[in-house]
């Protein structure tokens, strides 16, 4: 499928390149960016030109070699040579050549400027897409950070609650230890008291037995003494 540059379409249709570029941006003409000699440039198909109603009878670039009267540059040169002095004609010819060179440079510079503009538009679009991707990625990361912060706060609250329960259990353990110690101490005192009481009872029993023995011994001594006296 044959395709044309903006300059070629301008030559074909007789419309300026600026207008063609404006038609592309507005969507009146369909074009695609392709790799060109100086970078990305718009290429327009024959069908796009026909669909926009800009097609002339022949899709061949128009060569503008003549002036408004239909005379060529060679005819004008010959005509001027007959009526203008040679020195002036040579000076005018030199000026004309200089103007042509300057015009060529300006035209080439303008073409490069348009190509740079097209490349800038492409890169600007790419930059916008990258910026959108960056913003989406940043939003995603911020959402994940907020999600993690929320769950981290919940985890901290849960840990704080468990620490509170642990402190309560420790306090209860201390109370139980004190109660246990008091119980052991009371039990020891009661045991010692029973042992002392038991020993006291044993001492009293032994003291009673000793008294009885002593009484019997005295009684026997009295009897023996009585018997000896008789």
What pLDDT is recorded for position 63? 43
Confidence of residue 230 (pLDDT cuts 50, 70, 90): low
Domain extent, residue 18, equals 1-63
Average pLDDT, the chain: 77
pLDDT score at 141: 92
Structural domains of the chain, count: 1
CATH code of the domain covering residue 42: 1.10.1660
User: What is the structure's pLDDT at 68?
Assistant: 44
Residue 46 lies in a domain: yes
Residue-wise burial string across 9-23, b where 16 or more C-beta atoms lie within 10 A, e elsewhere: bbbbbeeebeebbeb
In a domain, residue 25? The reply is yes
Note the pLDDT of residue 109: 78
* Inside any domain, residue 186: no
**In angstroms, what CA-CA distances link 150 with 71, 143, 154?**
84, 11, 6
- Residue 51 in any domain: the answer is yes
Q: Does a structural domain hold residue 202? A: no
pLDDT top residue among 18 and 181: 18
Structural domain includes residue 19 = yes
d(CA 163, CA 157): 10
pLDDT 10s digits, 89-113: 667 777 777 787 787 788 777 778 8
For residue 75, tell me if it sits in a domain: no
User: What local confidence, expressed as pLDDT, does residue 142 receive?
Assistant: 92
Yes or no: say if 86 and 92 are a contact pair by the CB < 8 Å rule: no
pTM: 0.31
Over residues 33-46, the mean pLDDT reads 81
Q: What is the mean pLDDT of residues 28-45?
A: 83
Q: What is the pLDDT of residues 139-164, one digit of tens each?
A: 999 999 999 999 999 988 989 888 88
Domain assignment present for residue 192? The answer is no
The pLDDT, as a whole number, for residue 86 is 66
């Amino acid at each position: 499928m044959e395709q044309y540059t903006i300059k070629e379409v301008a030559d074909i249709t007789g419309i300026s390149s600026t207008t063609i570029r404006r038609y592309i941006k507005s969507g009146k003409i369909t074009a695609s960016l392709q790799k060109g000699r100086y970078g990305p440039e718009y290429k327009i198909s024959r069908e796009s030109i026909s669909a926009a109603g800009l097609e002339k009878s022949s899709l061949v670039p128009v060569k503008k070699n003549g002036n408004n009267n239909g005379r060529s540059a060679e005819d004008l040169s010959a005509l001027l040579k007959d009526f203008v002095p040679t020195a002036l004609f040579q000076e005018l010819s030199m000026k004309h050549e200089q103007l042509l060179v300057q015009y060529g440079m300006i035209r080439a510079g303008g073409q490069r400027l348009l190509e740079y503009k097209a490349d800038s538009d492409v890169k600007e679009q790419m930059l916008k897409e990258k910026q959108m991707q960056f913003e989406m990625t940043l939003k995603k990361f911020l959402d994940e950070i907020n999600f993690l912060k929320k769950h981290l706060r919940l985890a901290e609250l849960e840990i704080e609650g468990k620490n509170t329960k642990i402190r309560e259990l420790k306090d209860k353990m201390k109370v139980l230890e004190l109660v246990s110690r008091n119980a052991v101490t009371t039990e020891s005192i009661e045991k010692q008291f029973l042992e002392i009481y038991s020993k006291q009872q044993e001492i009293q029993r032994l003291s009673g037995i000793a008294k009885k023995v002593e009484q019997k011994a005295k009684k026997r001594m009295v009897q023996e003494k009585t018997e000896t006296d008789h």
